[in-house]
Structure 1
Amino acid sequence: MSSSTSTLRLYEWNSGATLAPLILPVRHGEKPEQAAHRYLSEMAKNSGLVELFASQIPQLPMTGFSLLEESLWEPRVLMIANLPYDYSLYSPRIKGFMNVFSKAQERCFILPINANLGLTCEETKELFNLIANNFPFMVAMGGDDVDPALYKAINSHCRKISPSRDQFEASLIRSFVEQEKGFLLGVCRGSQIASVALGYELIQDLPHHVGASVPHENDWHSIEIKSTSHNILKSITPTTNKLLVNSIHHQSVVYREGGILEMAAQADDGVTEATELRNGHGLLLQFHPELMNNDLGAEILLQALTQGKRVLG
């Protein structure tokens, strides 16, 4: 959408209360302080988000606003918030991502949960376009289970779902992938919700449906790397097909051949551990490289950055 017809601008909200600046959509004629108040006020009216935040809506200082310069070429990473501690200085996963990305000279930002609160449908579409135009690298992070209604299933084993959050995140990811202007990294829940957004289903509980031969919920285990069109994951360790990764999940993606995703890694029990977008614009991981605290975790994140720059020219 051209600047002459746009109704939104993106602002950085660097209040000092979060590990990275929040990205705030601001209407023309609206001050960023007003937009921030609108966002928090609408959050307080959303029963699902109030429940997610245990009735403690974020108290963020109304300071530190600056217009985000329109540019696709500045190195930027946008992390999609989905849990309350993403609005704090204490998120281990955001720290883990930033430790690697900041050293690679990437500027890191956080997109608030349901960043479109108070916006119309048309403004939400414009927000998605602005994100695709200004952020060449987006991270869908780990977190709670995905609402099974998004893949037309009955909830049998899902925990702590938040339908409005999940619908927003899935719509954003779908738009981002379809525009093919950036690279998507999905981690754990991020891999799951990205896959659901792209038409896949989930196994709702691995111990129940698959068994416990591989410790997925809170342990480490080996995965087997598969060849893909772009070999994003495989190129990290070309001399071996096995990697040892951490595991903090009880659900996984139901992979199918011939779709937009290619299988990039599996556990010994057949559970999907990684997929790659067939066009090279995304890497979806069931494990958490940002929490591995070793060279392999950092190398995987840097490889995703490298692949992003490669496909964007």
Structure 2
Amino acid sequence: DSDIPFLILRTSFENSFYYFNRFKLSISDLKFIPFKSNPHQIKIALIANSFEDMRLGTRLIRDFNLLKQNQAEVFIIPVGYDWNLTEEEALFYRKFIAEHFDLLISLGGDDVHPSLYDQPNINSKNVNYDRDLSEFNLIKYFKAHSQGVFFGICRGHQLSAVVDGYQLVQDLGEIHSSCLTKHQKNIDNKPEYLFHEILIKPSLLSRLLGFKDKIEKVVSVNSYHHQAVKNNNLSQKICCVAFDTEHDIIEALITNEGKSISVQFHPELPEEMNKNAEFTEFGYKFIRRVISYSRLNRFRNKKQTPAINTNSPQEFVLSKLKANGS
């Protein structure tokens, strides 16, 4: 764990980060990060969103190692990366992430502060406005300016949807008590309560999940949430590609011409948490395909083949995945 790099700008409040003094940078230093030159090794920025992450907690180490196994160079963006930065420094930081990283990942965690989607707090828990605003601003900038891919999981899926203008259901019990039971981890950790079925439309997501035929699929996924994205059909540019059809809950979104992917379920969780070896392998393969997709997207952006100028990012990458038999 001593090799886990946190990507931080030096400030006059540097001591507030004393317990993970691993990778401190000034603005001038940030331009010269020694990225490796391996063309197959993409750069991933993983957003920490809890103070347990900052102390190198179990989750952060687990997710860091999972990503690193897939020919990726992984950096951690700390909680409140911009809290002690000037507006100019914060903008520089976001710009640097957008320009130099192939994949930005936003993880699961606490509820998103409802003020970010212009609602009062009714049933949101453990919210932190400053933390959520920092992550919101980074995701918004990355999706608007980066050629890389954004990937959101659970809270990351919800926060990305808020960036795109969606509101959240603050507690699934608002829909129906059975909905909350179906989606939230059971207090006794009984396996039968950990999974529910979702409908996946033929899409980039279905391809990344390993489905090659262009028909709808019903898949059983894990569930650890009590909030969800409201299905308010904002724009044709925002594609809802997976649903819990029983309660009309959005389980996955594709935006930015296929460069933003988010899912409500947790593909990154290990078998001891899922208690389901088949789904764990399914989730790991999904993550590997997302990383491969990001790698191919980078090659397209660098115009390494003549054909890429005629295809959208999604069309190009899907054609490569098909050629590789993924």
Normalised-by-shorter TM-score class: 0.7 to 0.9
Would the alpha carbon gap of residues 135 and 305 (structure 1) be closer, same or farther in structure 2, given more than 3 Å must change? same
Task: Tell me which of 189, 200, 207 is aligned to 2:155.
Answer: 189
1:204 and 2:170 matched: yes
Would the alpha carbon gap of residues 226 and 69 (structure 1) be closer, same or farther in structure 2, given more than 3 Å must change? same
The match for 1:8 is none
The match for 1:261 is 238
The count of corresponding residues between Structure 1 and Structure 2 is 270
Task: Tell me which of 69, 76, 91 is aligned to 2:58.
Answer: 91
The match for 2:296 is 310
Question: Matches of residues 1-313 of structure 1 in structure 2 within 5 Å?
Answer: 16=2, 20-26=4-10, 35=11, 38-41=13-16, 59-60=18-19, 62=21, 68-69=33-34, 74-92=41-59, 94-213=60-179, 215-218=182-185, 219-228=194-203, 230-231=204-205, 233=207, 236-238=210-212, 241-257=217-233, 258-267=235-244, 268-293=246-271, 294-312=280-298, 313=300
Would the alpha carbon gap of residues 61 and 159 (structure 1) be closer, same or farther in structure 2, given more than 3 Å must change? closer
Unaligned runs of 5+ in 1: 1-13, 27-34, 42-57
Percent of matched pairs sharing the same residue: 26
Would the alpha carbon gap of residues 61 and 165 (structure 1) be closer, same or farther in structure 2, given more than 3 Å must change? closer
Question: After superposition, what is the alpha-carbon deviation per residue over 1:218-275, rounded to whole angstroms, capped at 9, x for unaligned?
Answer: 11111111123x3455651235702221100000111333244211111232211111
Letter in 2 for 1:282: S
Would the alpha carbon gap of residues 64 and 148 (structure 1) be closer, same or farther in structure 2, given more than 3 Å must change? closer
Contact 2:231–2:248 (Cα < 8 Å) also in 1:
no
145-154 or 201-210, larger mean C-alpha shift:
201-210
Q: TM-score, normalised by structure 1?
A: 0.78
The residue matched to 2:183 in structure 1 has which SS?
coil
Higher helix share: 2
Q: TM-score, normalised by structure 2?
A: 0.75
- Paired with 2:19 and 2:252, the residues of 1 have a C-alpha distance of 36
The alignment yields a C-alpha RMSD, in angstroms, of: 2.5
1:116 is displaced (CA, Å) by: 1.3
- Paired with 1:143 and 1:223, the residues of 2 have a C-alpha distance of 21
Question: After superposition, what is the alpha-carbon deviation per residue over 1:70-127, rounded to whole angstroms, capped at 9, x for unaligned?
Answer: 68965111111111111233323x3443343222111121101111122111221111
Contact 1:78–1:139 (Cα < 8 Å) also in 2:
yes
Contact 1:100–1:301 (Cα < 8 Å) also in 2:
no
Letter in 1 for 2:133: Q
The residue matched to 1:173 in structure 2 has which SS?
helix
